[in-house]
Structure 1
Amino acid sequence: MKNENLSVQFINVSAENAGQRIDNFLCNRQLKHVPKSMIYCIMRKGKIRVNKKRIKPDYKLEEGDQIRLPPVHIAKSTNQTVSPKLEKVASLNEAILYEDDYILVLNKPSGTAVHGGSGLSFGIIEGLRALRPEARFLELVHRLDRDTSGVLLVAKKRSALLTLHEQLRKRSMQKDYLILVRGSWPSNLKVVQAPLLKKILHSGERVVRVSSEGKPSETLFKVEERFSFATLVKASPVTGRTHQIRVHALHAGHPIAFDGRCGERDFDSQLENTGLRRLFLHAAALVFTHPNSGKTLRLEAPLDDALNRCIKVLRQRKNKID
């Protein structure tokens, strides 16, 4: 590794980059070797400016905006490949669910971040770029938390990215998740509407809670299967807030299994002999309009071995009781 100390930079936003959040733009492009916590820190201090004004991380860039970046100490790798993680790169081939000239969809494994940064040298997007070195463009359409598995959509063209982002803004893209929650989820509890407030700590960690000061948030829930002390539920977020499903499930009184942020240890301990050790939050299906053909696509991601094994053991327990 070698370090490079940059001077003040001024970046003019092109039409291609318009519509992106500034934190995503910086993390994925201009400052992708800088820890996210540092980026958020210098943004809070007002050292990153757009059109000479202070901005927040969720500011949406517009064509013609001028971004001012202060001198930032960047750790640059002397090796441009992701060689320490070759086995993970190779495994991404098996995770691909669908691919054409415009999009790539994969079943993201739990425990892998969607992008590197904040001390992580490897992420899904870095892995895909190593796997497809000839690809001129590969960008995440949306994100999944590191511990969440399931359908992840990647654009292979800027035009596709913009079209798919527009679907997200209009809420015409449907996302269905499977969660395992504590207790018996009420059949009549089909919608949770609770405003969510997000705070970014000095460490860069995002903390989300229900608050009247937060943004309107809505999630649809449907019971899929009941067990003796848990319920498998389909969760479909209408809005796309950070950690929305986790916080709404907790707000309803039914925390998700092995959720390090909003979970409950007693519930997790009941699942010990199922072999489960990961968050039971899986992006099971994604329905959207193809950015080129205009056809409606529904792509589904199967549960991994750990989640399938957990369900199998819970079914066996239930059958013994019944």
Structure 2
Amino acid sequence: MSKTQMEAGLPKVQHLQVTANSVGQRLDNFLLNQLKGAPKTLIYRIIRKGEVRINKKRAKADTRLQLDDLIRVPPVRLSQKAAETPVGKSLRELLLGEAVCFENADLLVLNKPAGLAVHGGSGVRVGLIEALRQVRPELEGLELVHRLDKDTSGCILLGKSRQVLNALQQQLQSKTLGKFYQAWVVGHWPADLREVSAPIDRASSPSGERLMRIAEAGEGKKALTRFRVLKKVAGFTLVEAEPVTGRTHQIRVHARHAGFPLLGDPKYGDAAVNQAFQRQGVGRMFLHARRLVFTDPKGGETLTVEARPDPSWKQVQTLMQNWNSKHE
């Protein structure tokens, strides 16, 4: 192979110009979209080291892009496997059909299955957004308005343009976008326990996994979750949870703090109870984003979109019926 041929395969400096569809986007999110297959750690490292320049100047990860900004990206060797991993047939069919809860010219609401990460990353080649960009290539400006944990199912909202994305995220920040979840918890949740207000902070984890905890007085970030009892079956309660604030793992941490951990929660749940259900073939975490309420940025009308839980929710109730007799 000649030197010219070898150099042809090497990564090169890129100069990317910001178009109208990317105005207002954070630099890190822009690069994650442009550099298919690049891990987040790489994106943040090249930004931190000053190798990414906007109009010849250093920039931070949260820098908001302006129209016609010229972004210099250093030579980056990408994982072609991550960038080109094809979406499986079953996921493709799901995203094109049954998973679509609502769609118009400006936005999309999907019923995300449990077990699917919203972004590709460490150990995850294809997340929801990468899969959607493969199966819906015509939606060039598609971006997530918010996120869901990998183990959480249900409504997830996406904007089809930068203008719509910004408008929906503004509703999220101003708390005018309502998110309502359903969760099965272990124990009999009292009907008069209607909210949990307790600050949340990151917990130390030797393994490096993301764990949160109820913070000490004067520490952490304020967090408020409203709860409502929907149904009781044997030793379990189905609750509706509305996270007024949007902290990481908020519903899960607040439920455990109240004494009623989520069924199937691998981080904050009751390990013995979880294992008992796993032996019966039910191994997911029972947290589902049931309903979104928001204003259509273009039409102005209030939209209420719901996502139905998957069949495992009926299956687990059958198992619950016999719980007390087996575990007295």
Q: TM-score range by the shorter chain?
A: 0.7 to 0.9
Alignment of 1:40-55 (within 5 A): 40=44, 52=58, 55=60
How many equivalent residue pairs?
Answer: 314
CA RMSD of aligned residues (A): 3.4
CA distance in 2: counterparts of 1:3 and 1:144, whole angstroms? 37
CA distance in 2: counterparts of 1:250 and 1:201, whole angstroms? 18
CA distance in 2: counterparts of 1:203 and 1:30, whole angstroms? 31
* Number of the residue aligned with 2:210: 206
273 and 297 in structure 1: CA distance in 2 versus 1, 3 angstrom threshold: same
Q: TM-score, normalised by structure 2?
A: 0.81
CA distance in 2: counterparts of 1:233 and 1:49, whole angstroms? 48
SS of aligned partner of 1:206: coil
Q: Is residue 138–residue 157 contact of structure 1 (8 Å, CA) maintained in 2?
A: yes
Q: Is residue 37–residue 202 contact of structure 1 (8 Å, CA) maintained in 2?
A: no
272 and 125 in structure 1: CA distance in 2 versus 1, 3 angstrom threshold: closer
Alignment of 1:150-299 (within 5 A): 150-198=154-202, 205-211=209-215, 212-272=218-278, 275-299=281-305
Q: Is residue 219–residue 245 contact of structure 1 (8 Å, CA) maintained in 2?
A: yes
% same residue: 43
1:26 aligns with 2:31: yes
Q: Which has the larger radius of gyration?
A: 2
Query: Which consecutive residues of structure 1, in runs of 5 or more, have no partner in the other structure?
Result: none
Q: Is residue 224–residue 234 contact of structure 1 (8 Å, CA) maintained in 2?
A: yes
129 and 230 in structure 1: CA distance in 2 versus 1, 3 angstrom threshold: same
Query: Which consecutive residues of structure 2, in runs of 5 or more, have no partner in the other structure?
Result: 1-7
* Number of the residue aligned with 2:320: 314
Q: TM-score, normalised by structure 1?
A: 0.82
Alignment of 1:124-135 (within 5 A): 124-135=128-139
Q: CA deviation at 1:287?
A: 0.6
Cα deviations by residue, 1:65-90 (Å, 9 ceiling, x for unpaired): 8877665432235985x535233112
Letter in 2 for 1:136: E
CA distance in 1: counterparts of 2:207 and 2:19, whole angstroms? 31
Which stretch shifts more, 162-171 or 269-278?
Answer: 269-278
79 and 259 in structure 1: CA distance in 2 versus 1, 3 angstrom threshold: closer
Q: Is residue 109–residue 150 contact of structure 1 (8 Å, CA) maintained in 2?
A: yes
SS of aligned partner of 2:78: strand
CA distance in 2: counterparts of 1:251 and 1:68, whole angstroms? 47
Which stretch shifts more, 38-47 or 178-187?
Answer: 38-47
